[in-house]
Amino acid sequence: MSLAEHRPDPAKLVYKRVLLKISGEALMGDGQYGIDQTVCERIAQEVLDAVKNGTEMCLVIGGGNIFRGMQGAAKGMERASADYMGMLATVMNALAMQNAIEAIGGHARVLSAIPMVTVCEPYIRRRAIRHMEKRRIVIFAAGTGNPFFTTDTAAALRAAEMGCDALLKGTQVDGVYSADPKSDPKATRYDRLSYHEVLARDLKVMDASAISLMRDNGIPIVVFSIHTRGGLADVLAGRGVCTTISD
């Protein structure tokens, strides 16, 4: 079946172009570090299915499964150097996801904010947009290219630059809670929140700078469980369990 036959009427899509942000930890599976290839392949399949169904997709993947800059700095490492090491970890994850997508017949491009032309393309905004228009999956690596900024901020920045209809955050739980549901069984899950409520209640969804950037550009944030099979498809179809953050 051709790609065109998979594609529904674009006017009926809930989101036509989205950025999916997932943590590096999501790739670990049941391990303590590194990349679980089975998990990586499952996520790759769901992303590819979304593209076949008509959504233009780009991704930002954290690097916490390999190295986290904040933790390195906390142990005495100079912060900028630690953050650069974290950026390199995101490149490794991006290359792993690219390989998983292409192994199942998809087309993916890794664009790095830190030039490393031997292994991936440099980030150029117009090139990234063109890749998505050609139904390629774009994976943004190396954060913003600057220390002291997290991959949350990088995801918000790229979502705004790409003109995305939504920023989807795949997490370990099925939405935003008033507290950590793993440690507090009385934590309340929210179906909808405003940007202001997230900031005022100091809910640990994304960095305040990322929330503010999405608010200023009117881009909703949809938080869902990346571990639920079919969860991405459900969110793109406007159903499933999630928390939507908007005005």
Alpha helices in 148-243, H assignment, sequence order? 151-161, 195-200, 208-217, 231-236
Give 29's contacts (C-beta < 8 A, 6+ positions apart).
36, 38, 39
How many Å apart are CA 214 and CA 157, to the nearest integer? Answer: 8
| Helices (H) then strands (E): counts for the chain | 9, 11
Answer yes or no: is pLDDT of 10 > 80.
no
Q: Is 188 helix (H, G, I), strand (E, B) or coil?
A: coil
What pTM does this model have?
0.91
Over residues 69-87, mean pLDDT: 85
Answer yes or no: is pLDDT of 20 > 70.
yes
How many Å apart are CA 81 and CA 75, to the nearest integer? Answer: 12
Strands 56-61 and 192-194: unpaired
Q: What pLDDT digit, counting tens, does each position of 161-211 carry?
A: 999 999 999 998 999 999 988 889 899 999 999 999 999 999 989 999 999
Amino acid found at 241: V
pLDDT of residue 35: 94
Answer yes or no: is pLDDT of 119 > 70.
yes
Quote the CATH superfamily of domain 3-246: Acetylglutamate kinase-like (3.40.1160.10)
Q: Is 211 helix (H, G, I), strand (E, B) or coil?
A: helix
pLDDT of residue 176: 95
pLDDT bracket for residue 12 (50, 70, 90): low
